[in-house]
């Protein structure tokens, strides 16, 4: 059986951070399992976060109106993308699992990691209108978010001041990872580690190491497949899906809530 390859896309400025410790724990545990581990340390790489004309070589197809998606797709097809993007493409092709490791900034990923998503998940390479969601380019790969928060878990509850973490996660887990076809594993959330004692932080790391032993075999979160939506009617849910869901007290997902209560833990636990 061929060794699995794991890509860790890592965004923290300090090697002394808890995020660095989480990343290092993953590298160590996965290597001990025989995995090939690749790390894209975005700050160390000084990875460019902005999606601009400099991402292609040679003249753009339409110099008067630079349309990033179209121009980079053409450049990808013709081998004219900048080397920092193509280097990441090579890692993504090899990867069976991608772990995004970061501190949560403004309920999302840091700008440098968002730039990685904007630039590396190139139109054509990572998705097309025909190849997305359950039919996506990366449907044979897994991906997950692993991150720290500044706020306690109670603050990200359905009645907490920050709101439900399941809602916070939807744009990235559905709109980026699931959109590109990844099987999305439940996130690894480290709640407010800066507020904890060194012993408690070590306990969080031990929990992460334990999870890493079975991570590659975990079942992914549930998202509705493309074929339950009617393309001829603007990709609306098909009537038979509505009817099947009518008996449930909950919607399908956080995003496809059907004006019902959100299914509990939908973006945080598999099999719910």
Query: By residue range, what is the domain housing residue 75?
Result: 5-221
Question: What token pair was written down for 61?
Answer: 């197809």
How far apart are the C-alpha atoms of 116 and 53, rounded to whole Å? Answer: 15
Q: What is the CATH number of the domain that holds 79?
A: 3.40.50.360
Does the pLDDT at position 131 exceed 90?
A: yes
Count the Cβ atoms, other than its own, within 10 Å of residue 242. Answer: 13
Q: Rg of the chain's alpha carbons, rounded to an integer?
A: 20
Q: How many domains does the chain have?
A: 1
Q: Specify the pLDDT at position 272.
A: 63
Position 266 in a domain: no
Digit-coded pLDDT (tens) for 155-173:
999 999 999 999 999 999 9
For the chain, give the number of residues.
Answer: 272
Instruction: Evaluate whether residue 121 is within a structural domain.
Output: yes
Q: How confident is the model at residue 242 (pLDDT cuts 50, 70, 90)?
A: confident
Is 232 within a domain? no
**pLDDT single digits (tens) 65-107:** 999 999 999 999 999 999 999 999 999 999 999 999 999 999 9
Question: Is 238 within a domain?
Answer: no
Kindly tell me if the per-residue pLDDT of 271 is higher than 90: no
The pLDDT confidence band at residue 2, using thresholds 50, 70 and 90, is: confident
C-alpha to C-alpha distance for 272 and 155, rounded to whole angstroms: 22
pLDDT above 70 as % of the chain: 100
pLDDT over 80 (residue 1): no
Asked, for residue 173, whether it belongs to a domain, the answer is yes
Whether 263 contacts 252, CB under 8 Å? yes
Cβ pair 146, 105 in contact under 8 A: no
Residues pairing with 190 in the sheet: 148
CA 135 to chain centre: 17
**Position 252 in a domain:** no
φ, ψ for residue 9 (rounded to 5)?
-95, 110
Instruction: Kindly state whether residue 241 falls inside one of the protein's structural domains.
Output: no
Q: What digits encode the pLDDT tens for the residues 187-228?
A: 999 999 999 999 999 999 999 999 999 999 999 999 999 999
Does 15 map to a domain?
yes
Question: pTM of the entire structure?
Answer: 0.96
Q: Where are the beta strands (DSSP E) in the chain?
A: 5-10, 36-41, 97-103, 142-148, 183-184, 188-190, 229-230, 236-237
């Amino acid at each position: 059986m061929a060794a699995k390859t794991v890509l860790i896309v890592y965004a923290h400025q300090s090697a002394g951070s808890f995020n660095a410790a989480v990343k290092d724990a993953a590298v160590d545990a996965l290597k001990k399992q025989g995995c090939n581990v690749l790390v894209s340390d975005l700050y160390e790489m000084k990875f460019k976060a902005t999606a601009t004309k400099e991402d292609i070589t040679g003249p753009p197809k339409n110099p008067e109106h630079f349309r990033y998606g179209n121009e980079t797709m053409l450049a990808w097809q013709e081998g004219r993308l900048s080397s920092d993007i193509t280097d990441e493409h090579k890692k993504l092709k090899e990867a069976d699992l991608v772990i995004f490791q970061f501190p949560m900034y403004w309920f999302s990923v840091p700008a440098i990691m968002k730039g990685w998503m904007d630039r590396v998940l190139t139109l054509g390479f990572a998705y097309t209108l025909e190849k997305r969601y359950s039919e996506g380019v990366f449907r044979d790969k897994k991906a997950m978010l692993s991150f720290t928060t500044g706020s306690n878990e109670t603050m990200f509850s359905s009645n907490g001041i920050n709101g439900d973490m399941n809602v916070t996660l939807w744009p990235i887990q559905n709109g980026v990872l699931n959109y590109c076809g990844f099987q999305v594993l439940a996130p690894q959330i480290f709640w407010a580690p800066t507020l904890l004692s060194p012993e408690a932080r070590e306990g969080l790391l031990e929990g992460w190491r334990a999870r890493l032993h079975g991570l590659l075999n975990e079942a992914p979160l549930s998202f509705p497949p493309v074929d339950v939506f009617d393309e001829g009617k603007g990709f609306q849910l098909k009537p038979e899906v509505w009817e099947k869901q009518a008996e449930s007290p909950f919607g399908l997902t956080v995003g496809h809530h059907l004006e019902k209560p959100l299914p509990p833990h939908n973006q945080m636990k598999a099999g719910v």
